């Protein structure tokens, strides 16, 4: 079952821009917190940016001032605008959704996309 679908990755030169998209279901979009993660070779998965259902946002220090996360309520989609890209931004980028549990004692539900490759050349 497809819950989230990423797109928009590609190959760009340093200093360039890309816009990633994460399309999801209406159910997940309306109640979930959506995040972008990335994973580079030999590195652990890193949280890049998060946006809540009420549009509150947070960013990793490494991307502050360069990346912007946003959501489109009509499209059930979350976007990551990436500007001033650096070679160290090269990674597979994943969209993640956290859905509140049925009770406070329960674990949050997590949904992951398949990822989209971003490569930034020097």
Which pLDDT belongs to residue 44?
95
**Band of pLDDT at residue 3, cut at 50, 70 and 90:** confident
Which pLDDT belongs to residue 1?
58
**Band of pLDDT at residue 2, cut at 50, 70 and 90:** low
Give CA torsion, residues 49, 47, 16, 121, to 10 deg: 180
pLDDT digits (tens, 9 = 90+) for 17-53: 999 999 999 888 888 899 999 999 999 999 999 999 8
- Structural element, H or E, at residue 116: strand 116-121
Cα distance between residue 34 and residue 59, in whole Å: 12
Q: Are 100 and 33 in contact (CB under 8 A)?
A: no
Which pLDDT belongs to residue 31?
86
Asked whether the predicted pLDDT for residue 91 surpasses 90, the reply is: yes
């Amino acid at each position: 079952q497809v819950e989230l679908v990423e797109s928009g990755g590609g190959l760009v030169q340093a200093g360039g821009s890309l816009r990633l998209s994460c399309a999801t279901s209406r159910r997940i979009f309306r109640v979930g917190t959506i995040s972008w993660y990335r994973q580079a070779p030999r590195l652990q998965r890193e949280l890049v940016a998060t946006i809540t259902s009420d549009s509150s946002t947070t960013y990793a220090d490494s991307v502050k001032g360069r990346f912007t996360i946003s959501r489109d309520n009509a499209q059930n989609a979350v976007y990551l605008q990436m500007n001033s890209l650096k070679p160290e931004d090269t990674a597979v980028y994943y969209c993640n959704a956290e859905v509140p549990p049925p009770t406070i004692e329960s674990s949050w539900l997590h949904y992951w996309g398949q990822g989209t490759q971003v490569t930034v050349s020097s």
